[in-house]
Amino acid sequence: MDERLSVLYVMVETHWLLASIAFISFHILRQILFIPVVIICVAGGALFGGLLGSVYSIIGLTLSSLLFYLLYNQMPKIFGKILKMKEKWFGHRAELSVGQVTVLRLIPFIHFHLLSLCLIETTKNFREYVRASIIANIPIAIIYTVFGQFIRDFSPSMILLLLLLLSGLFFLVKDKYVIIKWEKFFQKDKARSS
């Protein structure tokens, strides 16, 4: 096994540009192959180091998010399963902030494109989606690329503590505002005056 890894490292060093393009492309193909984002980011850290692996992962994840945006706008009915998943997990009218999506992306078992759908619904146009997507992808790329190789060494209690901390952070970055529909506001007012 060590010989195979040594050969892989030599190939990355000798064919750096080709390996970089292949790694970024692998991020885009990841969803077709049903490979979790975390695994790809950890592999990027192992192959390219923390800095380059993070940059490549940010580029790859952003391209993957942009591809999802374009496909969703072209064929929204195909993504019905993701819409149902969003309604099941977050409710019909829930709109997550970019900060909440960023924190949820750090939790490995939450579907990447489910959160991309939440960003689509939160943002107003493509440009805003691109900005929000980049912001949401930076922490996952950096944390799992730089520190991902150490996560497998964590004890189950440490992983549980990390998930609890991320859940708490999720509620801290929540947008705090209430939307009251015009009709409901004035219905309550009419009931009082009667």
Residue type, 167: S
Q: Is residue 192 part of a domain?
A: no
Domain that holds residue 117: 7-153
Pull the structure tokens for residue 191. 């009931």
Q: Is residue 191 part of a domain?
A: no
Q: Which residues are CB-contacts of 133 (< 8 A; sequence separation ≥ 6)?
A: 62, 65, 66, 69, 116, 119
Do 60 and 95 meet the contact criterion of CB atoms below 8 Å apart? Answer: no
CA 77, 80, 86, 87: dihedral to nearest 10 degrees?
A: 100
- CA atoms of 104 and 109, how far apart (whole Å): 9
- CA atoms of 64 and 69, how far apart (whole Å): 9
- Rounded (5°) CA angle 8-10-14: 120
Q: Is residue 174 part of a domain?
A: no
pTM: 0.69
pLDDT above 70 for 150:
no
Q: Is residue 175 part of a domain?
A: no
Q: Is residue 163 part of a domain?
A: no
Q: Is residue 161 part of a domain?
A: no
DSSP 114-151: HHHHHHHHH-SSHHHHHHHHHHHHHHHHHHHHHSHHHH
Pull the structure tokens for residue 82. 């993701």
Residue type, 59: I
pLDDT above 90 for 182:
no
Q: Is residue 106 part of a domain?
A: yes
Which tens digits make up the pLDDT trace of 64-119? 999 999 988 888 777 777 778 777 777 766 778 888 888 888 887 788 888 888 88
Do 113 and 68 meet the contact criterion of CB atoms below 8 Å apart? Answer: yes
* CB-CB neighbours of 188 under 10 Å: 10
Which tens digits make up the pLDDT trace of 41-51? 888 887 787 88
Tally of domains within the chain: 1
- CA atoms of 36 and 71, how far apart (whole Å): 20
Q: Is residue 188 part of a domain?
A: no
Q: Report pLDDT for 139.
A: 93
